[in-house]
Copies of this chain bind each other. A is one copy, B any other.
Amino acid sequence: MSSPYAYAKANQERFLEEYQDLLRIRTISTQPRHAADVARAAEWLRAMMLDIGMTSAEVILMPQGRCPLVLGEWQGAGADAPTVLIYCHYDVQPAEVADGWVTEPFEPTIKDGRLYCRGAVDSKLHVMANLKAVESWLAADEPPKVNLKVVLEGEEESGSENINAFIARQPQRLAADIAMISDGSILAPEQPSLTYGLRGIAALEVQVNAPISDLHSGHWGGSVHNPIQALCEILARLHDETGAVAVPGFYADVDAVTAQDRALLEQVEPYLQAEWQDVVNAPAPWGEPDYSLPERLGARPTLEINGIYGGYTGAGMKTVLPASATAKITCRLVPRQNPAQVLQCLVAHIQAIAPATVSVQVRPSEPGAEAVLLDVDGIAMRAAAEAYAHAWGVQPVFERSGGSVPITFECMKVADEVVILSYGLKSGRAHGPNENVLLQNFYKGVQATIKFIEVVGEQRA
């Protein structure tokens, strides 16, 4: 084999088999009962790093039995060569057939050019595309002109607490010239896009209690403020009737959308509109009326209720007046919003509107993540543009992502430049049932990372 590109094409079938092997492991980091699965996946990944020719590979255990990092290195380009750090995460969101899956959530199923499985797009796609790109380089005649570090996180879906602490404690372990974060999605199957902005995140739970125990709703109904009702009354006051967040101070640090932003984001609007019709398809659009769809999704902060429960939720009815009701909330943040300050505003507002008839606990969930804006004109962003152009045959457009990639902010502490290479699609239904990946995106992703490594090596040489 002469080139990494040819090697990758020749080994495509095997790469797909290995990708499916990883998908079968239930790496659900938010559920402690899957700790053994996560540990097994970490060991599997470490072994693969050594198999593909990396110099060293290590499973780095985390405090309190949390999910480990896997860190591999290849130092063959020499001490003077630049270092590229590739970050991905191998943990996934929970998934149950009952959520609406058509197939078994952890059994990879290929249909019509798509591979269905929890984690298919978020983010084992990226783990495997990058490992297989590294394998292709290390199996080629000419080695890469950059040193490589690959770090695979095991708790991106449950707060990334430990990787943040690890970076703070040992920043040299992940130090690099360029950090390439591989996660997320591009605009459309035939239109790659580079994300230059990411929203941050802040999370909290609100719990309302009133009676000391579940009660008979006939015996006591009418004499006590129903906790579900009180919670609904609180949650109904977190947005105003236009869809804007009604929490005082929430928008205090939010910059106006600039003319440059508007110009860049106008290009992606038709793609997003079409995708909204396809993926969301709600009875009507919703959101802040003065902002376009890409602005609502990328340049404006939001507050979402991710879950609610209280009282009887089984089949049939149960005439209970419940003791408590709980909601889970996350906010998506834009640059200059501080997660802790946003949480403070939320706690203060909820406490201010909490009626005296119930007891309200607000539990902020640490840590949040700040939003980031990346340099559109840096070496990393230009190498990424060439990588997409090579693999997709089309120049990428620029967008701001609605999702949070909290690690971006952390990587900015250990690398001169940070760039995000996404190979997924929003229609991949990350976090939802029937998560899937377009198989072509896996193969193109391998080619794109190979190209990215080549271009960085040439530019930094």
Q: Report A's interface with B, CB cutoff 8 A.
A: 30-32, 93-94, 99-100, 122, 157-159, 185, 199, 201, 203, 210-226, 228-229, 231-233, 235-239, 243, 276, 279-288, 293, 296-297, 300, 302, 304-323, 325-328, 330, 332, 356-359, 365, 401-404, 426, 429-434
Q: Are B235 and A218 neighbours in the complex by a CB distance under 8 Å?
A: no
Collect the chain B residues with CB atoms within 8 Å of residue A365's CB.
317
Collect the chain B residues with CB atoms within 8 Å of residue A318's CB.
30, 93-94, 157, 306-307, 328, 431
A281 CA to B211 CA in the complex, in Å?
6
Residue of B nearest to A360 (CB): B283
When all copies of this chain in the complex are counted, the total is 2
A306 CA to B304 CA in the complex, in Å?
23
Question: Which among B285, B293, B306, B314 is the interface contact of A94 at CB below 8 angstroms?
Answer: B314
A214 CA to B433 CA in the complex, in Å?
7
Q: Are A319 and B312 neighbours in the complex by a CB distance under 8 Å?
A: no
10 shortest interchain CB distances as A-B pairs: A218-B403, A30-B316, A307-B311, A236-B236, A214-B432, A222-B302, A232-B232, A225-B286, A307-B312, A232-B235
Q: Are B308 and A313 neighbours in the complex by a CB distance under 8 Å?
A: yes
Q: Are B305 and A226 neighbours in the complex by a CB distance under 8 Å?
A: yes
A97 CA to B326 CA in the complex, in Å?
19
Q: Are B306 and A217 neighbours in the complex by a CB distance under 8 Å?
A: yes
A312 CA to B328 CA in the complex, in Å?
8
Q: Are B432 and A100 neighbours in the complex by a CB distance under 8 Å?
A: no
Q: Are B357 and A286 neighbours in the complex by a CB distance under 8 Å?
A: yes
Task: Please give the distance in Å from A247's CB to the nearest CB on chain B.
Answer: 13
The contact sample of 13 A-B pairs, CB cut-off 8 A, is A31-B316, A159-B317, A210-B286, A217-B431, A220-B402, A221-B332, A222-B300, A223-B276, A226-B305, A285-B357, A308-B310, A308-B311, A308-B325
